[in-house]
Structures are given as C-alpha cells and as structure tokens.
Chain A
Amino acid sequence: SQTIHQWPATLVQPVGSPLSLECTVEGTSNPNLYWYRQAAGRGLQLLFYSVGIGQISSEVPQNLSASRPQDRQFILSSKKLLLSDSGFYLCAWSSGISSGQPQHFGDGTRLSIL
C-alpha cells in the first residue's frame, strides 16, 4: 500500500532563517505531488505541484520554492523565512494516471516563525 511521510512534524524558526521541509511517498511510482499551506482556521492554499521529476508548477508567487529531485521526493524550501510563512504545511500525492484521483495527505508540519 502507498504511504506518505512528511517531516519534521513541528518546526520553530527565526525570521530570516532558511527552511527545508521534506516529503516522500512509498508504494507508487510517478505520483503527482503537492504542497499546501493552511493558515489557522482557514482552508488549504495550494503552493506548488509537480507531475514529474524537475517539473514544478507554482500557484502562488511568494517566498517559497519547491523541488523534486527524485520521483517520490518533494521538498519545500525558503532562503529567508518571513513571519507570514507561519502555518501548517501539508504534502499530498495523487495517482498520475488520470485526473479525478483523490489526493492523499501527509501528517503535516506546523511551522512557527519567531
């Protein structure tokens, strides 16, 4: 069966510091991968998605970037964090076979910027 791992679970970082959140998927090949951010009490905002290695689509221009160095690895990064980057970050995957496949989410990373 497929599983998705996301880490760390919690992160506290000072303003201006770099960021690296990692997500890996097991049990499937060539998945579509996604990064979402969820502000407190609000819905999900899609940040990036990827349909293959090295293919990244950005939905919201901002302080963050994403990379997909391997088929089942998706990394969210920042060179300098802002206070507004605080939130709950979720990684997700879906089958790349066709659209309409449900997205399956990791456990999330709670990021606090001080």
Chain B
Amino acid sequence: AQTVTQSQPEMSVQEAETVTLSCTYDTSESDYYLFWYKQPPSRQMILVIRQEAYKQQNATENRFSVNFQKAAKSFSLKISDSQLGDAAMYFCAYIEYGGSQGNLIFGKGTKLSVKP
C-alpha cells in the first residue's frame, strides 16, 4: 500500500529566510501526482503546489517550489523569503494516476513556525 511520510513534525524559520519541508512516499506505481497543502490556524486546507510524476521539471508557485526526486521517492517543499503568513501545518499528499478518486493519501503533517 502507498504511504506518505513527513519526518519533521515541527519546523521553524526566521522571517525572510528559506525553509525546506521533507516528504517521502512509497509506491510501486510509475504514474502519480503529488501535492502540498497548507492548513493555517483557521483550519482551511489550501492547495499550495501540484507535481505530476511524469514531468521532470519541478513545480513552482511564486515563493513555493518543490524538489521532486522520483527515484528516491522524495518530494520536498521549499519556501523562500518566508513570511509570517506562511505559519501553518503543511501536508504532503499522493494520488495514483487512474486510481480511485478517493485514494488521496496524506502525510501526518509538519507544523511550520515563522519567527519575526
């Protein structure tokens, strides 16, 4: 069965600096999608970034970028120029291409604190 592991329960970063959140996953599939979601204290889950496994190029969204290492099954999120509003829980998620639409698998999350 596929699993998603976020090994860092908590991380801290100084405002304006860069932080990287780790995510590894286990799958025997070759086609799949990976996501990072952000959940601020307000609890709404917000999509940050999406990566398609068949694309070599790392996805980017403004200050957010990923380092996708398919062979290593690693999908880390880099936040540049961290802002106070980036403080939140971050969840990594996986879904198999063509799989059941319900089968989005989440990691347990990393709590990011941003220090002014």
Contact = CB atoms under 8 A, between A and B. Distances in A.
Interface string B77-105: 00000000000000100011111111010
A33 to B, nearest CB: 10
Contact of A44 (B91, B98, B100): B91
A43 B43 contact: no
A42 B99 contact: no
Given A44-B91, A107-B42, A99 B106 contact: no
Contact of B50 (A44, A88, A92, A102): A102
B104 A88 contact: no
B45 interface: yes
Interface string B41-55: 011111100101000
B92 to A, nearest CB: 10
B104 A96 contact: no
Interface in B57-74: none
A57 B108 CA distance: 23
Nearest to A107: B44
Given A100-B52, A102-B50, A105-B45, A43 B101 contact: no
A59 B101 CA distance: 12
A99 B97 contact: yes
B35 interface: yes
Contacts of A51: 101
A5 interface: no
Given A49-B102, A99-B95, A105-B46, 12 more contacts: A34-B102, A43-B108, A43-B109, A44-B91, A57-B100, A96-B101, A99-B33, A99-B98, A100-B95, A103-B104, A105-B45, A106-B44
Interface of B: 32-33, 35, 37, 42-47, 50, 52, 91, 95-102, 104, 106-109
